[in-house]
Amino acid sequence: MGTPVNLFGIGKSGLMVSKHSLHTTGHNIANVNSEGYSRQTVEQASGPTIPNGKLTFGTGAWAKKVARVNDEYLDRRIGMEAKNFANLEEKQLYLSQTEQIFNESNSEGINQLATKFFNEFRKLSTDPGNAAIRASVREASNQLVDDIRRVARSLHEVQKNIDDRVGGYVRDVNALAQEIRDLNLLIDRAEAGGGSAPDLHDKRDLAMKKLGAMADISAGRDQNGRVTVTMAGHVPLVVGAEVTELEVLRTPADPLTGKPEERLDIVVNSPVPVVVTDKIKTGRLGGLLEIRDQDVVDAQNKMDRIAFALSTAVNEIHRQGYGIDGGTGRNYFKPLAASKDAAELLQISDEINNNLDAIASARAPNSPSDNRIAIAMSGLGGVKGLVEGDAEGSLLDLYNGMVSEVAVKTAAAERGMVFQQDVLTQLDNVRESIVGVSLDEETSNLVQFQHAYAANAKVLQVADELLQTVLTTFK
């Protein structure tokens, strides 16, 4: 059986295997910097044997498939840590923005302006009839009001920015789900006849990693081996060739949960939309929703309670006093009906803004030197229990506690990001050592397969020479 014809087949098979190996090695080198790429290898096997009497002869080699090197456990671990990092990254971004809103690192924050407000009333108590001091009281009042309203508007703006970002990420989720569905179908077709599609698997894994960083994602496989994706525990994003899309809508207020009318919700796009906002806890979307619906809302509520308590307490004292024009029973701030939106609605009354003499400093009429109301006003900053639900603290205690809480959460998110980045870097390095492309190794393989190709070409040359000898002999 060891004829030149058989040798041609053996040489050709070796040549093809070497060619495939060279092609795959070149493909690895070309993709050394491609995101999500896994090193590929040619799995080869010896061909069938042919018996010849007591002897058995081989028929060469063949390439079984092009396989990618991968570690599913490591990929799952990287996906989990990437999700945690993405969650912390979004939290840190918007917590730091929230912290900057309060502006307490310089002399223009609410804490300083409130202290100035109370101090100006203390100055007024030393000289109740001084017009310049009265002007300073009004100016300090307007500065405080303006900053409280600025903070309220800025917090609302943070929520709007988060809504925009949520909408963008929801579009990304839909696009990634579509991509995974399309790759499922392409992989099915490519592997239908026993073929392999390592590049498509890499692309699908990368899409899964990006999708997993967005929210609570779990993946499985159906009976055909296609990836299925479920979000938030029960939303089937990708099942076979079907994709369920998400959308963002402003849904009605819910008095039972306290959900406001203006909140943007994530819903499943179906004949009867299903709200899934509260079920998303992790990833980028989970981080954004937590900041928007918990941290920012908590800051808004506290600012509203502080503004309402300030307005109510100041008005109550001011109505009891007399201005130097003899007027009494006047509100210092425009009255607020409730704490809801109080920080945005807080305003100095028109009477005070238009008439410095309307600022009450005396408790008794026609008493120019009476300063009891001014003293009472100046002491409000230290009075405890003015804010509803906070019997132990003063106005500034609640405010400073809120600012400190935001600062602590921001710092925690920053530390968490650094830690998660270190973990991800370590895991990526491990993955790179297992499935990544090493240029040194691939260059060595290139030389090895080049030599194998040349050797198999030599086999073909020898087979040709033998065949020519046989043909010449039998002419």
Res 167: pLDDT: 95
Name the one residue in this structure whose structure tokens are 């392999």.
196
Give the DSSP H or E segment for 304.
helix 296-320
What are the beta bridge partners of residue 44? 63
Distance CA 307, CA 177 (A): 46
Other C-beta atoms within 10 Å of 108: how many?
12
Are 384 and 128 within 8 A, CB to CB? no
For the chain, what are the domain ranges? 4-69+436-473, 77-422
Tell me which amino acid residue 470 is. V
Give CA torsion, residues 391, 396, 397, 399, to 10 deg. 100
Q: Which two tokens stand for residue 405?
A: 């809480």
Residue of 166, 390, 391 lying closest to 290 (CA atoms): 166
Strands (E), 287-396: none
Are 407 and 99 within 8 A, CB to CB? yes
Q: Which two tokens stand for residue 326?
A: 């003899």
Res 465: pLDDT: 79
Distance CA 387, CA 304 (A): 10
β-sheet with 274-275: strand ranges across: 246-250, 264-268, 274-275
Res 367: pLDDT: 87
Res 129: pLDDT: 92
Distance CA 21, CA 448 (A): 10
Res 281: pLDDT: 93
Per-residue pLDDT tens, the chain, 475 aa: give them: 455 557 888 888 888 999 999 999 999 999 999 999 999 999 888 888 888 777 877 888 888 889 999 998 999 999 999 999 999 999 999 999 999 999 776 667 899 999 999 999 999 999 999 999 999 999 999 999 999 999 999 999 999 999 999 999 999 999 999 999 999 999 999 888 778 899 999 999 999 999 999 999 998 888 878 899 999 878 889 998 889 999 998 877 666 665 666 678 999 987 777 889 989 999 999 999 999 999 999 999 999 999 999 999 999 999 999 999 999 999 999 999 999 999 999 999 999 999 999 999 999 998 888 999 999 999 998 889 888 877 778 999 999 999 999 999 999 999 999 999 999 999 999 999 999 999 999 999 999 999 998 998 888 888 777 877 777 777 6
Ramachandran angles phi, psi of 275, nearest 5°: -75, 125
Res 5: pLDDT: 55
Are 137 and 125 within 8 A, CB to CB? no
Res 168: pLDDT: 96
Name the one residue in this structure whose structure tokens are 């499935």.
435
DSSP string, 280-293: --SHHHHHHHHIII
Distance CA 365, CA 135 (A): 21
